[in-house]
Amino acid sequence: MKKILITGGLGQVGSYLVDALHDKAKITVLDNFSSTTRESVPEGVNIIKGDIRDRTAAAFVKKNNIIIHTAAQISVTASMEDPLFDAQNNVFGTLNMLEAARKASISKFVYISSAAVYGNPLYIPITEDHPQDPLSPYGVSKLSGEKYCMMYHRAFGLPTCCIRPFNIYSPRQNPENPYSGVISRFIDKAKAKQSPVVFGDGNQTRDFISVHDIVNMIILLLENEDANGHVFNAGTGKSITINELANMILNIFDADVPINYMPERPGDIKNSCSDITKAKKILGFEPKVSLREGLLEFKKQLA
């Protein structure tokens, strides 16, 4: 049985990975417990409270065959407030994990980057070779992590691959967190029959991808050697306006309330949509969860 270390295994992506992989591999989670909505983990999963920046974390890396590195400082806003903290986690923390992996015998290192590396899109849909000019320290630190991963592949032969998720959603995103995504915020309001707040005119677009499709893509990466040394967009290839999203959520949650329009959020990009041709071609990736199905999952969890 393969041994997989999932850093950030209590977080949004990590916790769903644990659920999907725990009966196929021996899973160890390395997490600092800084942000989790998880109450329990499946039996047999080994949980280590630790920090990816800590050099002693290397000891856990070498006991595994596969590393899925999801632990990170995940907030764009927080990165603007404290760029050093962001870089310590996302740059040094990633480098610390890579360096430990280089010294161990690792058959795959998967890194979770972000569509934030692109900055303001020059064209839509965005391909992986679109210029990367991040607008935030978070975008820079994620890009830097990617560059280290690719360099470790070229220079040391470490089998690394990276994904750039667009807007991930899942019921495990905490709506009370000021940095959480628009879907959990809208659902939180709709459940309380309150108006969702739309920043700007609501005509901005986003490519929302279910965490289950992100997990599927990562599993495809684990099985595919041709993916090594590559970066893949992780989106659905489709986008929707924030107005359409708000109306869809109000409708699903039977909330007959008007939308509350507020001024545009500074630094917001207008449109975003992924081109996933590369992931389709190399990984055979196909997103399976429609936005409506994904939103209904939130409703099911409340029932």
Sequence-distant (≥ 6) Cβ neighbours of residue 90 within 8 angstroms = 72, 73, 138, 141, 142, 144, 145
**Residue 244 CA, distance from chain mean position:** 23
Distance separating alpha carbons of residues 255 and 248, to the nearest angstrom? 10
In whole angstroms, the minimum distance from the beta carbon of 31 to ligand UD2 comes to 19
Tell me phi and psi for residue 129, to 5 degrees: -90, 10
In whole angstroms, the minimum distance from the beta carbon of 181 to ligand UD2 comes to 3
Q: Give helix 291-302 / helix 242-252 axis angle, nearest 10°.
A: 40
In whole angstroms, the minimum distance from the beta carbon of 86 to ligand UD2 comes to 12
Rank residues 109 and 166 by Cβ distance to ligand UD2 and give the closer one.
Answer: 166
Rank residues 87 and 101 by Cβ distance to ligand UD2 and give the closer one.
Answer: 87
Rank residues 32 and 141 by Cβ distance to ligand UD2 and give the closer one.
Answer: 141
In whole angstroms, the minimum distance from the beta carbon of 276 to ligand UD2 comes to 16
Distance separating alpha carbons of residues 217 and 20, to the nearest angstrom? 12
Query: Applying CB under 6 A, which residues contact ligand UD2?
Result: 76, 114-116, 167-168, 181-182, 185, 197-199, 204, 206, 242, 265, 268-269
Spatial contact of 181 and 168, defined as CB atoms under 8 Å apart: yes
User: Hey, what are 244's tokens?
Assistant: 């359409």
Residue least distant from ligand UD2 (Cβ): 181
In whole angstroms, the minimum distance from the beta carbon of 134 to ligand UD2 comes to 9
User: Hey, what are 134's tokens?
Assistant: 């991040």
What stretch of H or E contains 247? Answer: helix 242-252
Instruction: Work out the burial of residue 83: count CB atoms within 10 Å of its CB; fewer than 13 is exposed, 13-18 middle, 19 or more buried.
Output: middle
Q: Which residues are catalytic?
A: 138
